[in-house]
């Protein structure tokens, strides 16, 4: 019986050493969400009627309970004419009573470049009035299987006239 127990212990130790020796890879990236909140090519839309404004059609980002869906093109560079490498698809909801926090659930769906066919799953509380908002990378697919890490969003351009916002997305992700 002791021999059997010893063999199981050795197998367990070998399995643990083998699994821990396959080191995680770390990937960092900096990309740009091209967000359009109005006009014929809007990429973000408010979906609940309770948060809609009066006649001006403005979105109510700071009203508790406002729910939005998004499908932003994500480019390699700041310029909206830069190569689109992904889509930022998901939703966010103004989840704080005072309107200062939005809860985001976003899939970064890579459509081109070295990560094409892979995704990153982003989730977290995003303080809307902060210059830089940090959220968690909670998973991924393809190249990013078992992804864990963090991402930041920073609004680097805001043009009210044409409803265009550019949000710099920086991510550091560990994956296998």
Q: What is the pLDDT along the chain (176 residues), one digit of tens a residue?
A: 556 666 656 565 555 544 444 688 999 999 999 999 988 899 999 998 654 444 455 678 889 999 999 999 999 999 989 999 999 999 999 999 999 999 999 999 999 999 999 999 999 999 999 999 999 999 999 999 999 999 999 999 998 888 899 999 999 999 99
- Within a domain: 118: yes
Q: Is residue 94 part of a domain?
A: yes
pLDDT value at position 51? 45
Q: Is 28 a member of any domain? A: yes
| Position 16 in a domain | no
Q: What is the pLDDT of residues 139-151, one digit of tens each?
A: 999 999 999 999 9
Residue 142 lies in a domain: yes
Average pLDDT, rounded, for the chain = 88
Q: What is the pLDDT of residues 57-70, one digit of tens each?
A: 567 888 999 999 99
**pLDDT for the residue numbered 52:** 47
Interatomic CA distance for residues 89 and 69, integer angstroms: 8
pLDDT value of residue 60 = 84
CATH number of the domain encompassing residue 83: 2.40.480.10
- Element (DSSP H or E) covering residue 102: strand 101-110
pTM to 2 decimal places: 0.82
- Total structural domains within the chain: 1
Instruction: Tell whether 5 is covered by a domain.
Output: no
Residue 2 inside a domain? The answer is no
Contacts of 170 (CB under 8 A, 6+ apart): 28, 29, 30, 151, 152, 154
CA-wise closest residue to 119 among 92, 149, 88: 88
8 burial class (0-12, 13-18, 19+ CB within 10 angstroms)? exposed
Give the dihedral sign, CA 110/156/25/140: negative
Question: Among 101, 140, 137, which Cα is nearest to 122's?
Answer: 137
- In this prediction, residue 54 carries a pLDDT of 47
For residue 75, give its domain range.
24-175
With respect to residue 139, please indicate whether it lies within any of the assigned structural domains.
yes
């Amino acid at each position: 019986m002791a021999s059997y127990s010893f063999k199981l212990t050795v197998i367990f130790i070998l399995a643990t050493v083998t699994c821990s020796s396959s080191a995680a890879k770390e990937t960092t990236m900096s990309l740009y969400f091209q967000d359009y909140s109005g006009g014929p090519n809007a990429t973000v839309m408010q979906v609940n009627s309770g948060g809609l404004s009066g006649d001006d059609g403005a979105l109510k980002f700071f009203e508790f309970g406002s729910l939005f869906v998004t499908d932003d093109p994500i480019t390699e560079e700041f310029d909206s004419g830069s190569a689109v490498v992904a889509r930022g698809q998901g939703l966010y909801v103004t989840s704080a009573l005072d309107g200062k926090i939005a809860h985001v659930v976003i899939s970064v769906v890579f459509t081109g470049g070295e990560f094409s066919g892979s995704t990153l799953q982003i989730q977290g509380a995003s303080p809307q009035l902060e210059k830089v908002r940090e959220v968690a990378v909670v998973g991924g697919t393809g190249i990013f299987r078992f992804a864990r890490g963090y991402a930041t969003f920073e609004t680097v351009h805001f043009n009210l006239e044409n409803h265009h916002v550019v949000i710099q997305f920086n991510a550091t992700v560990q994956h296998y």
